[in-house]
């Protein structure tokens, strides 16, 4: 392979020195062939200045305003907020660890008086206190407002 590359290199160096040139007929044919292959590149249309984004569906209706409109103008009470936060909890078990009742909530064990972090829709985190645990239900507390929930795990 090295010998072949060396021979090609020597031939490339010696060929121009021998005065070998293309005949005008061959040169004309080569230029026309190159032009036929690359001709459409020279006259190609330019790319659009602002191309459409293929990842966004076209909007048929009016465009939404940039200012978000409030969905609920009535201020929520603390009991409504506690109910909403309690609905996002996933209670998956009731266990007793060293005689102390625990609830498995969102994949983690909590005992009485533990704070449970709950992420709200706005992105902020609220802490709900697990006030009491029995074998059939539990009580959550948020700012002195209590909510009793039943857990169906046995």
Q: Which of 81, 79, 75 is nearest to 118 (CA)?
A: 81
Domain count, the chain: 1
Q: Is the pLDDT of residue 1 over 70?
A: no
Q: Is the pLDDT of residue 69 over 60?
A: no
Question: Is pLDDT larger for residue 25 or for residue 38?
Answer: 25
Please check whether residue 100 lies inside any domain of the structure: yes
Return phi, psi of residue 6, to 5°.
-65, -40
Please check whether residue 28 lies inside any domain of the structure: no
Please check whether residue 108 lies inside any domain of the structure: yes
Q: Quick one: pLDDT band at residue 17, thresholds 50, 70, 90?
A: low
Please check whether residue 70 lies inside any domain of the structure: no
Q: Which of 107, 152, 102 is nearest to 130 (CA)?
A: 102
Q: Is the pLDDT of residue 74 over 80?
A: no
Which helix (H) or strand (E) segment is 8 a member of? helix 2-17
Please check whether residue 12 lies inside any domain of the structure: no
Please check whether residue 21 lies inside any domain of the structure: no
Q: Is the pLDDT of residue 153 over 70?
A: no
Please check whether residue 32 lies inside any domain of the structure: no
Please check whether residue 140 lies inside any domain of the structure: yes
**Structural domain span for residue 139:** 78-150
pLDDT of residue 78: 80
Q: Note the pLDDT tens digit of each residue in 102-139.
A: 888 888 888 888 888 888 878 888 888 988 888 888 88
């Amino acid at each position: 392979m090295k010998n072949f590359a060396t021979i090609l290199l020597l031939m490339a160096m010696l060929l121009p020195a021998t005065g070998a040139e293309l005949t005008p007929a061959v040169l004309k044919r080569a230029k026309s062939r190159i032009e036929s292959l690359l001709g459409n590149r020279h006259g190609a249309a330019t790319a659009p200045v602002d191309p459409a984004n293929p990842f966004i569906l076209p909007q048929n209706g009016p465009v939404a305003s940039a200012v978000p409109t409030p969905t609920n103008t009535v201020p929520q009470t603390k009991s409504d907020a506690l109910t909403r936060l309690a609905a996002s909890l996933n209670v998956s078990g009731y266990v007793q660890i060293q005689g102390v009742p625990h609830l498995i909530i969102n994949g983690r064990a909590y005992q009485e008086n533990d704070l449970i972090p709950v992420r709200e829709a706005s992105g902020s985190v609220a802490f709900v206190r697990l006030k009491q645990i029995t074998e059939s239900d539990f009580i959550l507390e948020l700012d002195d407002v209590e909510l009793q929930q039943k857990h169906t795990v046995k």
